[in-house]
Amino acid sequence: MSDKEQFETVNDGLLVRAPAKINLSLLVAGKRPDGFHDIETVMAKVNFYDEILIEPGLKAGIELVCKGPHWAPEGKDNLVYQACQMLLNSCGVWTDIKITLTKNIPAGSGLGSASSDAAATLIGIDQYMEFGLGNRQLAKLAKRLGSDVAFFLDGPLALCTGKGEKIKKLTKKFGFSALLILPDVSVSTKKVYANYRANLHVYESLSARINRHIEKNRIDLVSEMRTNMLEISCFRLYKELAELKARIESLCIGPFCLSGSGSALFYCIEKNEVTRADKIKKQITENIGCTTIIVSNNKW
């Protein structure tokens, strides 16, 4: 995957790219009174994108068109539609607008594509309509759309806590490449969290280690821990993913980690080890047969 700019002018429209994310670490505590779980996660954007094209509308109101290799809900069920409507309403503006979402990142993969799409829509509509709101005001809307949305307004690397909506940007640059496995499995985040069994002792112990690494700007050591406390819950529900991970690791490549609540798996390597990454990708394709792509840390 090659690095691309966030914005691109297309005729009289604006193309906005929405990057995927991986969780370099993911800690999950017990359920809160509001039904959510407290989490602590280091998230990194990668250069694998959905695309959102914003153009003048030919139909009344908001027209959302979804295309691309992966499914996305149409109309008001899509966070892109909701983000656009929410932003226009908050600014007291009613206009005809067309949004075309090209879905390259599969849903239910733990790569945050729906949240990233929503954030890209907020940023894109703000720029396209020349509202000039900025990230701070957009973040207030982002929190209403989903826990991960605020992260995608900035970045590219952050420590996210609370439900995921409390964002601490990490300014230390962490360059990496990753082998990203995209199984043909759509995971329900809701089910994975409902099936999760909290272990506060493990949470606190891992949190202390990760925060020590962050204080020393050693994000590489956070990544090397390969910590995802949702992995057991996900694998209980989706045994085929546990089996896939075991098959991949039997090739003696190295330990893979689940991103988010799944289903994507990733393995980070040094950014300059492109030749090794190509060899590993070929090895997985020939022996396992699942979709594998090489991604790098996103620059914005």
What is the rounded average pLDDT of the residues 25-52?
Answer: 97
DSSP string computed for the chain: -----SEEEETTEEEEEEEEEEEEEEEEEEE-TTS-EEEEEEEEEEEEEEEEEEEE-SSSSEEEEEESSS----GGGSHHHHHHHHHHHHTT----EEEEEE--SPTTSSS-HHHHHHHHHHHHHHHHTT---HHHHHHHHHHHH-TTGGGGGS-SEEEEEETTTEEEE--S----EEEEEE-S----HHHHHHT----HHHHHHHHHHHHHHHHTT-HHHHHHH-EETTHHHHHHH-HHHHHHHHHHHTTTS---EE-TTSS-EEEEE-TT-HHHHHHHHHHHHHHT--EEEEEEB---
What share of the chain has pLDDT > 70, as a percent? 100
> Residues 246-258: what's their mean pLDDT?
95
Poorest-pLDDT segment among 45-59, 178-192, 255-269, 273-287? 273-287
Question: Does 274 have pLDDT greater than 90?
Answer: no
How many Cα atoms sit within 13 Å of 11 on the Cβ side? 4
Q: How far is it, in rounded angstroms, from Cα 202 to Cα 17?
A: 37
- pLDDT for position 106: 97
Q: Which of 21, 45, 103, 245 is catalytic?
A: 21
Kindly state the percentage of the chain with pLDDT values over 90.
Answer: 94
Q: What is the mean pLDDT of residues 254-259?
A: 96
Residue 97 reports pLDDT greater than 90: yes
In one-letter notation, the amino acid at residue 196 is Y
Identity of the residue numbered 124 = G
In CATH, the architecture of 7-169 is 2-Layer Sandwich (3.30)
| Catalytic residue status for 148 | yes
Domain 177-296 classification at class level? alpha beta
Is 220 assigned a catalytic role? no
Is a pLDDT exceeding 90 seen at residue 173? no
pLDDT value of position 155: 84
User: What mean pLDDT, rounded, does the chain reach?
Assistant: 96
- Residue 133 in this model has a pLDDT that exceeds 90: yes
In the chain, where are the structural domains located? 7-169, 177-296
How large is the average pLDDT for residues 143-147? 95
Whether the pLDDT of residue 271 is over 90: the answer is no
Q: Which among 103, 117, 148, 245 is annotated as catalytic?
A: 148
**Confidence at residue 51, expressed as pLDDT on a 0 to 100 scale:** 98
